[in-house]
């Protein structure tokens, strides 16, 4: 997976900021089309950390999510999971959702594992 350099025009989010993770696949045309929009949302929401996880390149941490619909998003942090599911590939939809998230729920082991990998190697998944 090719990492995209972080945007340099905004401050880095705090190291304990929640993650917004797009679970995708390189072969998926919808995902390829969505990536620049996802990057746009990342620049507009510097309080979140954003990651792009290819479910095939990173099957060791993504298989458990059993992604069938692309893109599938995960919004989670140390306090729990706020969203996990498919989402229309529109920047406006994601921005609206980030502004109206529900309180976090306890995360599953699989979410905790994925977040631990992201925390350990954030540059490998940077948007």
- Residues with Cβ within 8 Å of 112's Cβ and at least 6 positions away in sequence, in order, are none
Give per-residue pLDDT as tens, 24-57. Answer: 999 999 999 999 999 999 999 999 999 999 999 9
Residue entry with tokens 């190291």: 15
- Mind giving me the DSSP string for 42-75? HHH-TTSEEEEEETTTTHHHHGGG---SSSEEEE
- The candidate with the shortest Cα–Cα distance to 48, out of 74, 85, 68, is 74
Give per-residue pLDDT as tens, 59-118. Answer: 999 999 999 999 999 999 999 999 999 999 999 999 999 999 989 999 999 999 999 999
Reading the block at residue 89, the tokens are 């590939």
- 43: Cα separation from own chain's centroid: 13
H helix intervals, the chain: 29-44, 59-62, 91-99, 109-120
* Cβ neighbours, 10 Å, residue 94: 27
Q: What is the pairing mode between strands 49-54 and 19-24?
A: parallel
């Amino acid at each position: 997976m090719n990492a995209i350099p972080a945007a340099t025009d905004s401050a880095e989010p705090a190291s304990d900021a929640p993650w917004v993770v797009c679970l995708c696949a390189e072969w998926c045309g919808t995902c390829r089309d969505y990536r620049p929009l996802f990057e746009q949302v990342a620049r507009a929401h510097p309080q979140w950390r954003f990651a792009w996880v290819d479910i095939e390149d990173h099957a060791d941490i993504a298989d458990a999510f059993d992604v069938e619909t692309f893109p599938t998003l995960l919004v989670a942090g140390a306090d729990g999971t706020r969203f996990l599911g498919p989402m229309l590939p529109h920047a406006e939809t994601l921005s609206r959702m980030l502004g109206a998230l529900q309180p976090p729920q306890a995360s599953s082991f699989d979410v905790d594992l994925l977040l631990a990998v992201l925390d350990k190697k954030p540059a490998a998944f940077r948007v």
